[in-house]
């Protein structure tokens, strides 16, 4: 169904029918419930805090189990929050935290894989583009510089790519 046809259909519905359909969608699809819960009660700080805790747990588990270091966990939260159109400062903070915690993990490891470095660079690139496009460079420039310095200190093979992006913030 095209958007135009969908709008025409919505206009043809009575208010009560429209309310019934929205209620049905809310009850039937968790994504719709999540969206409306976020719209009416964002609690962005709480959501970011919970996401940071889960990301941190991937790299530094509280119990004695081995760290999984799954980068996909952070990426899932970031994609989800992008869809919800979370406030840019909160989302940029989470994006940079993802990289910072991964760098802390990498510092403790003897060797990290090129795939890990590439994934972190992709996250860094996404974060810097997001920060620039939302006009919040001044708030995050220092953290971006620290991330770049960490790649140099840890001898990442692609640190030159981080430096190139970092130069946009000078």
Residue 140 predicted with pLDDT over 90:
yes
Higher pLDDT, 47 or 69: 47
Higher pLDDT, 66 or 141: 141
Residue 42 predicted with pLDDT over 90:
no
pLDDT-derived band at 37, boundaries 50, 70, 90: confident
DSSP-derived 3-state class of residue 29: coil
The H-assigned helical ranges of the chain are 3-12, 15-28, 30-40, 44-59, 71-84, 88-108, 114-133, 137-153, 159-166
85-135 residue pLDDT tens: 889 999 999 999 999 999 999 888 877 888 889 999 999 999 999 999 999
69 sits in the region (left: phi over 0; alpha: psi -120 to 50; else beta) called left
């Amino acid at each position: 169904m095209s958007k135009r046809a969908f709008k025409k259909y919505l206009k043809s519905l009575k208010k009560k029918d429209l309310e019934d359909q929205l209620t049905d969608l809310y009850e039937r699809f968790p994504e719709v419930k999540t969206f409306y819960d976020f719209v009416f009660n964002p609690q962005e700080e709480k959501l970011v805090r919970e996401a940071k805790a889960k990301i941190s747990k991937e790299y530094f588990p509280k119990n004695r189990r081995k760290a999984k270091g799954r980068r996909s966990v952070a990426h899932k939260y970031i994609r989800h929050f992008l869809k919800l159109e979370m406030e840019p400062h909160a989302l940029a903070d989470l994006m940079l935290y993802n990289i910072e915690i991964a760098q802390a993990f990498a510092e403790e490891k003897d060797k990290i894989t090129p795939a890990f470095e590439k994934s972190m660079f992709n996250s860094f690139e996404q974060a810097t583009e997001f920060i620039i496009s939302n006009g919040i460079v001044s708030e995050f420039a220092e953290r971006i510089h620290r991330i770049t310095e960490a790649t140099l200190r840890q001898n990442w093979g692609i640190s030159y790519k981080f430096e190139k992006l970092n130069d946009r913030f000078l």
